[in-house]
A and B are shown apart, each in its own frame.
Chain A
Amino acid sequence: MVTNQAVVATKPRERLKVFTRALEANEKQDAQQTMPPKMQVKDLNFYYAAFRALADINLDFPQNRITAIIGPSGCGKSTLLRTLNRMGDLVPKTRVEGAVLLDSKNIYAPDEDVVDVRRRVGMVFQRPNPFPKSIYDNITFGPKLLGINHRRELDEIVERSLKRAALWDEVKDKLHESALALSGGQQQRLCIARAIAVEPEVVLMDEPASALDPIATFKIEELMRQLRDEFTIVIVTHNMQQAARVSDFTVFMNMNEQRAGHVVEFSPTQDIFTTPKQKEAEDYITGRFG
């Protein structure tokens, strides 16, 4: 027999209340859920010749989360980002001390294959930089280097990558046209599609929307939120509102007296933009810096 109370609980208003409460709990849990670190930076120092650009960096980048790095120009944000997939190796006279772990394994270990590191940790740059080739060839460039040559397999990769980058519907009828004919926003999404075509685990983004208009920027940000389920994302941005909108965690970096970049605060994004712990972070975020 149904009790009086159970009848009350099944009223639409009650059900709605229970549902709303469950949704709220879920959302909160999702934001705060602690994920294991996908990448860890341990006592990292980076030198351009004698100049120490990064000083004693220690950071964890949680898996399937977006971490934004903010800070004034010259504080080493991009340098730090580039150490995460050994892009710094390409610059002469640079030197790295400390370790960067990807799934607990040091990517700077002597036996580590740098090409494999860069496949697992992809990168998207500030200005869209598609190759002067067709849309199709841009996407298949990486997979081909990795030895994938079957036409059908490549077709699948192109479709899947463009769909994940929210570009498929816009370009599916002109895959063999030049990528340079696309708009800036589309070119940047193509670069994201190209980066994820080789199935990386981490995607690094260096100011990915700074050259785009607001609509194209929102599209990139929305895309980042979607990609977060599959990848770990680290983004460098000068746009604090962008960091606030897209990221789960925020790192604030600054320069010390020797102009070496260091981490001032690492906090959940909602905390750093409402109640930063460090005065230096507060001063920067509120625009009272220096």
Chain B
Amino acid sequence: MPRNTFEIQLATLKKQMLDLGLEVGRTINDGVDALKTRDRVMAEAIIQHDDDINRTRYEIEERCYTLMATQQPLASDLREIMSILLITIELERIADHAKNLAEIVIFMGNEPLLKPLIDIPRMAEVAQDMLSRALDAFAKTNVEEAESAANTDDVIDELYKQVFRELMTFIIEDPRTVTRALNLLFAAHNLERIGDCITNIAERVVYAATGKLEELNVQRPLG
């Protein structure tokens, strides 16, 4: 291979991004666990860990710029590096949404949950699976898998609508529940946004593989 050094740099970059993806996936899980168990120590740890994720994101970003400036990547290399850069930004945003879950735990203090959590953990589970499939699709340059991951966002959206309707009935029946209902709604909303971020990731996978810039799983208005 005439470009061994570049190949190694690109492979390292790719691995670093995929590792970040795994870590962000775990953070989604931790965020919902902290919410379920009302574990404030865990919530604090998640908030602190977000700094590490941000740092890694900047490291990856800087590596992308360096590779572009020094190696002048073209064609599939260019698409791959641009996709790594944009996926990393989405991953960092997902981690921010997971951090928001932890912040809700802190904000809620000792106030009891309005209702046992059923759909919210389910949303987190689906999001995690979706993320791991999108990243797997990137690692394998698999367009079908990316599209299938993006389509799973519908499941998250449906669960969100369900949570929304359910919490609304609580509020209507007893307006004093509004704060507690909104806390849960905010948690569900963050998970819904995570689904959208993963759809964006899947779009970058398709771009890296084919050069096509297109929206996957075009959203219908929620409600």
Contact = CB atoms under 8 A, between A and B. Distances in A.
A276 to B, nearest CB: 5
Nearest to A287: B3
Contacts, number: 36
A251 B141 CA distance: 28
B75 A273 contact: yes
B210 interface: yes
A289 B74 contact: no
Interface string A250-290: 00000000000000000000000111100001100111111
Contact of A286 (B75, B210, B211): B75
A101 interface: no
A273 B76 CA distance: 9
Nearest to A244: B74
B2 to A, nearest CB: 6
Interface string A191-218: 0000000000000000000000000000
Contacts of B76: 282, 286
A276 B75 contact: yes
Indicate the size class of the contact surface on chain B: 10 to 19
Nearest to B211: A275
B171 interface: no
Residue among B2, B3, B76, B211 having the largest count of chain A Cβ atoms under 10 Å = B76
A89 to B, nearest CB: 36
Given A275-B79, A275-B211, A286 B1 contact: no
Contact of B72 (A241, A281, A288, A289): A241
Interface of A: 240-241, 244, 273-276, 281-282, 285-290
Interface of B: 1-3, 6, 72-79, 210-211
24 contacts: A240-B72, A240-B74, A241-B72, A273-B74, A273-B75, A273-B78, A274-B74, A274-B78, A274-B79, A275-B79, A275-B210, A276-B75, A281-B75, A282-B75, A282-B76, A285-B75, A286-B3, A286-B73, A286-B75, A286-B76, A286-B77, A287-B6, A289-B2, A290-B2
Given A275-B75, A286-B3, A287-B6, 8 more contacts: A241-B72, A273-B74, A274-B74, A281-B75, A282-B76, A286-B74, A286-B77, A287-B2
Closest 5 CB pairs of A and B: A275-B211, A287-B3, A285-B75, A285-B74, A286-B77
